[in-house]
Every structure is written in structure tokens, then in C-alpha cells.
Amino acid sequence: MMYTTQMDAAKRGIITKEMEIVAKKENMDVEVLRGLIAQGKVVIPANKNHKALDPEGIGEGLRTKINVNLGISKDCYNIDKEMEKVKTALDMKVEAIMDLSSYGKTEEFRRRLVEMSPAMIGTVPMYDAVGFYDKELKDITAEEFLKVVQKHAEDGVDFVTIHAGINRQTAEVFKRNKRLTNIVSRGGSLLYAWMELNNEENPFFKYYDELLDICEKYDLTLSLGDACRPGSIHDATDTSQIQELLVLGELTLRAWERNVQVIIEGPGHMPINEIAANVLIEKKLCHGAPFYVLGPIVTDIAPGYDHITSAIGGALAASHGVDFLCYVTPAEHLRLPNLEDMKEGIIAAKIAAHAGDLGKNIKGAKDRDYAMSKARQELNWEKMFELAIDPEKAIRYRKESQPQHEDSCTMCGKMCSMRNMNKVMEGKNINILREDD
């Protein structure tokens, strides 16, 4: 039986090869997974033209996934350097890479990325439009915006961020309710500017059905962008953010009618005490669609350390039901991240995702922690390194400061609690000041 998208197949009772792969990875019954996809609570972004893809699921009951942002810009135009970052990110087993390229040969970079990447690939076609047509923003037509989405879909990207919720109504709410940092979403700000300059409706909202035609044809997952995400703690959970979320909820239902898979994007900057409520609001207003957040960053005062501020917010958000974390690097708000920044951001996001999985009792999430604790109790250093999120760093730290006794470390030496408790539990003596008998 033929089907158009993963959601169409799920509604028809068809188990796709992608569903089988994801169910095995998640240790989940494939029929349960199919049911969640049919309801829109889980997505498998899998463009029909992405032949190298090793599919992953995002949504309810699944492991929290992470996304890495990469791409070339006018100020840092070096495709080879970006490809080095891509290869490293793939080696670090990230589940998704977003190509945010905004200058030059974006098509070449995007095609190379899709051709080599087993991870799902996302883009923001809006970023590409100005360079693609070599026209000023104001002069790009609605039809031309849709053609860029069509091009990205043909090239095999698995999901696209589309800021369709910043329509004329949302824009009027934004104007009436002043913000400290206005619209910080790059794509959202460009669309708002286009609307103001042309006195027209958002083309992605006005021609949403045509957008869905493209998505249905290629099984392109819609990541409905949050143009009004808060860019500061001050603006969190404000009227503009909630107004846009109401629109995104309606757009979600329209997409599901066409069997188009949907992810909802979220904040942004947010105080820690508002995160749980934001997850609940999104899940309610957007009918349980998977939730994808940038951070959230829980304080505005840590430039250079925003991989930490975002990991704090991401862990809490994931524990309350967020399904997909966009990594944040130490370079956030400062510059394009380099290779080391990217690696630090990936590790921080992986920690946040796993901590969130522990909090929401994802099946099997605790197994690795149990094994690590057992290895620590046994003072099995090799096993500890094997289980570590970043084995390379753990091994380096151990080698940089060698203890006198191999069954301890230079922090505690022979006062090591694990070492001494093992001896006592075995009925042995403890010699702290003298050599063992």
C-alpha cells in the first residue's frame, strides 16, 4: 500500500522501515510508536531524498534528541572548516544538524551535508532567500519564498524551520505590547520586516496550503518556528510569545489534516521557574506535538558560558516533557562557534538531554548511570571511561594527575571512600598512613 508521509502511513496502519528502526533504537513496541506518530505526538523526520539517513524519532516517550547548528556566513565563509565541524558532530553521534548557512554557495554545502549525513538535516529557508535570488529582502515575492523551500526539500533536508506564526495579527499584538529585546529570531525578524516593508501578510501564513503541498510531497517535517521567542529573561512568557503559540496550534492541526509531521519550536531565554509552565502550555495549545527548544537560557549575564546556562534550562525542560534540544555553545551571542566551541556545546546538550530523560523516566535511561556507579564502586577506571559522555576528557584528566595508588585518584588518595569501604566490607584492614599489608 502506498503512503505519502510517515504520518500518513501511521494513520493507515502501515509500519514503515523508519518506524522499525526507531522502535528498535528506543526499545519500544513498533505498534505503540506507530500510534504516537498517527497522533502527531512523535515525528520521524525523513525526507524521501535523504538516502544516507539513519532515522530517529522525536517526541513522547522517546529519548530527548539534540540538534547542532552549523553553516557558513558572510563573515566566516569557509566550507572546509564547516565540513570539519560536521564530521566531528557526526562522530559525536548527534541526532540532528541544522544548516543555518546564509551566504555564498549554500546549495553546495547543503547537498554535501545531506549526501554524507546519517543524522537528520534541518534548514531555515528564509536565511537562504536573499542570497539565492541576489535581491533585497523587500523585493522577494511570496512565490519566491516558497520556491526556496521547494529547493531545500528537493535537496533532501528532513525538516525546515518556517516562521508561519508571525502573521499580521501576531505582529499587531507585538506592537501593542512592548518588549525589551523585540524580535530576536533571525528568520522571524526578517519576515516581520518583509511584512512591514510590503504591508502584506506573512507569505508562509497566507500560502500555508502551498507550503503543505511541498511538505507532503517530500515528507518534509515542518518545524514551526517561534519568531516571538523571548530573547531576554524580561520578555519570557509574554503576550507576543503566547499569541504566536496560539497560531502555531492552529497551523499544527492544518498540517496534520494533510499528514504533514510537525515540531513546535520554543524559547529562548527564560527564568528557571517558568520552564515547566511553558512546556505545559505548548503541549496543551499545540495538541501534544513534539517541543523543540533553544536552551532555554536561564540567565542573561553569562556570555562565554551559555552552554552552561542552556544546559541548566534544557535539563529542566526535558524533564518536564521537551523532546528536542538545540545545543548552545560558549560562543552564543558573541561569534560563530569554532570546532572546540561546538564540541563543548554538544557535550553540554548531551548532559542536559540525558538528565531530562532520567527525570521523565525514559525506558533504559537509568541503565548507563547504574553501570557507571557500579564501575565507580569497583574502581574500574576503564569501564568508567567507556561509559562517560566525554571519554577523551575523562582520560586526559586522569593522566594529568597520577595517584600513588592506582585504585584511587589524587583528590582523596588512600582516603578514598570507595577504596576503604570495599576493604571494610571484605573484612580487610585499612592502612591510610602506612603501606597495605
Binding residue ranges? 69, 98, 127, 163, 185-187, 226-229, 265, 269, 292, 333, 409, 412, 416
What are the cell numbers at 62? 522517546
Give the residue among 39, 97, 92 at the shortest CA–CA distance from 68: 97
Give the 3-state secondary structure of residue 422.
helix
Q: Which residues contact 321 (CB under 8 A, 6 or more apart)?
A: 60, 279, 280, 283, 291, 360
Q: Copy the grid coordinates of residue 354.
A: 540525558
Q: Provide the annotated binding site for Zn(2+).
A: 269, 333
Which class for 310: exposed (0-12), middle (13-18), buried (19 or more C-beta within 10 A)? Answer: buried
Distance CA 124, CA 83 (A): 18
Q: Do the bridges between strand 291-294 and strand 58-59 make them parallel or antiparallel, or are there none, so unpaired? A: unpaired
Distance between CA 143 and CA 323 in Å, rounded?
Answer: 33
| Cβ count near 377 (within 10 Å) | 11
Binding residues for [4Fe-4S] cluster: 409, 412, 416
Cα gap 232→238, rounded to integer Å: 11
Residue 49 near residue 219, CB atoms below 8 Å: no
> What does the CA dihedral 126, 130, 154, 41 come to, rounded to 10 degrees?
0
| Cross-strand bridge partners of residue 58 | 43
Annotated binding-site positions for substrate: 69, 98, 127, 163, 185-187, 226-229, 265, 292
- Cis status of the peptide bond prior to 391, with omega within 30 of 0: no
3-state class (DSSP) for residue 129: helix
Would you tell me how many other CB atoms lie within 10 Å of the CB of residue 334?
12
Q: At what angle do helices 365-377 and 339-359 cross, to 10 degrees?
A: 100
Q: How far apart are CA 230 and CA 185, in angstroms?
A: 9
Sign, CA torsion 288/327/278/240? negative
221 contacts: CB under 8 Å, gap ≥ 6: 43, 45, 158, 159, 160, 215, 260, 261, 262, 263
The closest of 62, 51, 47 to 5, measured between CA atoms, is 47
Cell of 45: 523526520
